[in-house]
Amino acid sequence: MAHSRNHDLILRDEHYTPSWVFEALGIDFDLDVASPIDRSASNVPSKKAFTELDNGLEQEWVGRVWMNPPYSQMTPWANKFTAHANGIALLPVSRSKWFNAMWEKADAVTITPHNIKFDRVNEKPKTIAFQTMFFAFGDISVQAIKNLEFRVR
C-alpha cells in the first residue's frame, strides 16, 4: 500500500511528550491543541483536546493551552500560540521568525535535555533530531516549568 506524503509527515510528527514531564509540571491544561487522534496515546492532562481531525489551527483556543505541534508545520502553530499567550509549548530550536517572536514574548523559556526521549505508538521511546525548549506564557505556566527537573528516562 502506498502512503501519501501527508501520511508520512503525520507519522514522522507523531512523538508524544512523556508522562514524567506532566507529572513534574504539576498543572492541568484547559486544552491540548495538537493531540493524537488516538487520545489514549496522549499523556497530556487536559480538559479538552483537538486532534488532526479537528484541525486545532482553525479552532478557538481558550484557557491554558498545551502545545506540542507537528514540527513539519511549525510557523502557523507557533504564531497562534504566541498570539494566545497562555500555556506551555514544546518546540524545536529554530533559526526562524516564529522562534524569535516566541523567544522575545514568552514569560519564561527552558531548554530540554538533548537526549529527552519521546513516546511513540507501538514503539520504544526515542530521541528526536531537534533540540527542544519549553516556552511558558502566564504565571502558572512559568511556575510549572520551574518545577521541571530534567533527567534521562
d(CA 57, CA 78): 10
Cα distances from 10 to residues 32, 36, 58, 61, 73, in angstroms, run 17, 10, 18, 22, 10
Q: What is the mean pLDDT of residues 1-14?
A: 44
Percent of the chain with pLDDT over 90: 56
pLDDT in tens, 44-87: 999 999 998 999 999 999 999 999 998 888 999 999 999 999 99
Strand 132-137 and strand 108-111: the pairing is: antiparallel
State residue 30's pLDDT score.
98
Cell of 80: 497562534
Over residues 136-142, the mean pLDDT reads 97
Q: pLDDT-based confidence at 3, cuts 50/70/90? A: very low
pLDDT bucket at 121, cuts 50 / 70 / 90: low
* Domain 5-146, CATH class in plain words: alpha beta
Sign of CA dihedral 98, 127, 19, 53: positive
The rounded distance, in Å, linking the Cα atoms of 92 and 135 is 10
Alpha helices in the chain (DSSP H): 5-13, 19-25, 74-84, 97-105, 139-146
- Residue-averaged pLDDT of the chain: 84
CA distance 61 to 24: 24
SS (H, E, C) 32-60: EEEECCCHHHCCCCEEEEEECCCCHHHCC
